[in-house]
Structure 1
Amino acid sequence: MLVIAILMLFPFWLALSNAFKPSAEYIQTGPLSVPSTLDFTALIQFWQGVNFNQKLLNSVIISGSVALIAAAISLLSAYAIGVGRIKGRVWILAIFMLAFTIPQEALVYPLFILTRDAGLYDTQLGVIIILSVLQSAFGTYMLSSVLGSFPVEVLEAARIDGASRMQILLRIVLPLTRPTLAVLVTFFFIWTWNDFFLPLVLLPSAANQTVSVSLGALSGQYTSDPTALAAASLAGILPAFIFFILFQRTLMRGVNLGAVK
């Protein structure tokens, strides 16, 4: 486990050490050496050159919106499938399972045509709607398996007491599935933050681009600045890393409770 942890942290160490390393020292000593002095030039140039404040705000808005909307869609869909016991439940779950296995490359052209005809091309709203629907397929599949084993006696007792379907959802199902929803929100946020292909195609203007797209613009076929790329990678990794650290306990508690249920 220690060896695996070191291997996983090694790219983060490379980005951290080379982000503050002068370009001349990088050429002389290579990427594995520890910087003798801290140089913030590459980080400042990247931050100002790509207007990283705007890119960071765009990623936060898109990732946060997708995480919440996809979790809400997943809960409503899974409630109908797992608790409502609609007809063809197994086939519907199979369709959802197939949906989140389709690669984005196979969907990008019809999604491009759809957003263009709907007037949502090059808008954050278009990307939010598309990613929310795509990621809710996994959330629906995951929550349906949890709600499929939901105690029927609890639901019948609530119906006898006169609770409506919405009251059962909000007062009984939602509190018990909140740990699983927290796991989904965390996953959806990180997945959307790291998503590169769809934002690259659907958000061509610089004002709407995300952090991942701005990182890809730094490396070309014939030109590359290793220290600037390391600084950009560090700036792109840190927000998602901080988000994961803040919600780590919630994530682990949700996984454990979901496994017990």
Structure 2
Amino acid sequence: MRKRTGVDWLMLAFAVIAAIAIIAPFYLILVNSFKSPADYSNGGPLQLPSALYFDGIAAFWERVNFPEKVWNSFFISGMVALLAVLISVLNAFAIGIGRVKGRSWIVLLFLLANLLPQEALLYPLYYMFKAVGLYNNVWSVIIVFTVIQAAFGTYLLASVYGTFPKEVLEAASIDGASRWQILWRVIFPISRPTLSVLVIFFFIWTWNEFLIPLTFLVSNENQTVPVAISMLQGDRLMDVTTTSASALLGLIPTLIFFLIFQRTLTRGITAGAVK
């Protein structure tokens, strides 16, 4: 143990300030979700409610058919996470271990694909999905985000697989393993912690996406949770407490997902940090 220096106390102060900045919005959402409009008008957003008020949550639940929106978000996010990781593994195996020509340029192209703003993709994708009959279909959003997330996953995994020990691969090849067997019996088990982290991140990132689902899922039965929340903002009957309740309900599924896979996420990050 050593005495804390001024730098240590400064870093601690920054950590406390950052924690407060992160917790404050969650506090406001939680408090105002169970507050009546009268309590909000009298006490403002920071005061605790005088009594628990559940009408805001019930109103949002009934107006948007919340279970249907949760299922849409869960289906889209789950399919994107699984498909994007699968495509990333196949691409990274070919680039990082297969050593294809122009490997560096290919990886750079995958990186540039993540830098394109979504606004630049809307116009061509709109006409493409219209032409193939996938407009207002959840698979249009799944395809778009699978490509976007797989581009990032390929860039990350190609760098990881590029440093994979050649001795292990040569030993598997001498034992008679084919490329397919090397991928699924050697590469995949070793990189499973990294892949589990990608699945979690891809799921949460896709769940929180707004612009592309808003553009391509126009019917009410296909909308996701973030889009359903935004659709209520123009409702003349909406109030602050109902808006907070909608934000709370939209946050709970991702929070539960994160808590369930928190240990998997921690193991994946620490495994990737140890060579």
TM-score, normalised via structure 1 length: 0.97
Alignment partner of 1:86 out of 86, 91, 100: 100
Q: Secondary structure at the match of 1:175?
A: helix
CA RMSD of aligned residues (A): 1.2
Alignment pair present for 1:103 and 2:121: no
Structure 1 residue runs of 4+, over 4 Å off? 221-224
Q: Secondary structure at the match of 2:226?
A: helix
Alignment partner of 2:74 out of 50, 53, 60: 60
Per-residue Cα deviation, 1:159-190 (whole angstroms, up to 9, x for no partner): 11110111001000000110000110011000
User: Aligned equivalents of 2:179 and 2:135: distance in 1?
Assistant: 37
Moved more, 202-211 or 121-130: 121-130
Alignment pair present for 1:219 and 2:200: no
The residue aligned with 1:37 is: 51
Q: How far 1:3 sits from its partner (Å)?
A: 2.5
Report % sequence identity.
Answer: 54
User: Aligned equivalents of 1:143 and 1:199: distance in 2?
Assistant: 27
Q: How far 1:235 sits from its partner (Å)?
A: 0.3
Q: How far 1:220 sits from its partner (Å)?
A: 3.0
Q: Secondary structure at the match of 2:234?
A: coil
Q: How far 1:2 sits from its partner (Å)?
A: 2.6
Structure 2 residue identity aligned to 1:145: S
Moved more, 84-93 or 219-228: 219-228
The residue aligned with 2:181 is: 167
The residue aligned with 1:3 is: 17
Alignment pair present for 1:12 and 2:57: no
Alignment partner of 1:128 out of 125, 129, 142: 142
Alignment of 1:174-193 (within 5 A): 174-193=188-207
Q: How far 1:155 sits from its partner (Å)?
A: 0.4
User: Aligned equivalents of 1:155 and 1:240: distance in 2?
Assistant: 38
Q: How far 1:224 sits from its partner (Å)?
A: 4.8
User: Aligned equivalents of 1:192 and 1:227: distance in 2?
Assistant: 26
Structure 2 residue identity aligned to 1:186: I
User: Aligned equivalents of 1:197 and 1:209: distance in 2?
Assistant: 12
User: Aligned equivalents of 1:92 and 1:260: distance in 2?
Assistant: 27
Q: How far 1:242 sits from its partner (Å)?
A: 1.1
Listed as ranges, the gaps of 5+ residues in structure 2 are 1-14
The residue aligned with 1:206 is: 220
Q: How far 1:250 sits from its partner (Å)?
A: 1.1
Alignment pair present for 1:230 and 2:244: yes
Residues 43 and 221 of structure 1, relative CA distance in 2, 3 Å threshold: closer
Structure 1 residue identity aligned to 2:221: A
Q: How far 1:240 sits from its partner (Å)?
A: 0.5
User: Aligned equivalents of 1:4 and 1:109: distance in 2?
Assistant: 38
Moved more, 152-161 or 220-229: 220-229
Q: How far 1:113 sits from its partner (Å)?
A: 1.1
**Residue pair 1:146, 1:258 contacting (<8 A) in 2 also:** no
Q: How far 1:222 sits from its partner (Å)?
A: 7.7
User: Aligned equivalents of 1:102 and 1:221: distance in 2?
Assistant: 33
Per-residue Cα deviation, 1:195-220 (whole angstroms, up to 9, x for no partner): 00000000000000000000111213
Q: How many residues align?
A: 261
**Residue pair 1:58, 1:208 contacting (<8 A) in 2 also:** yes
Alignment pair present for 1:51 and 2:59: no
Q: Secondary structure at the match of 1:44?
A: helix
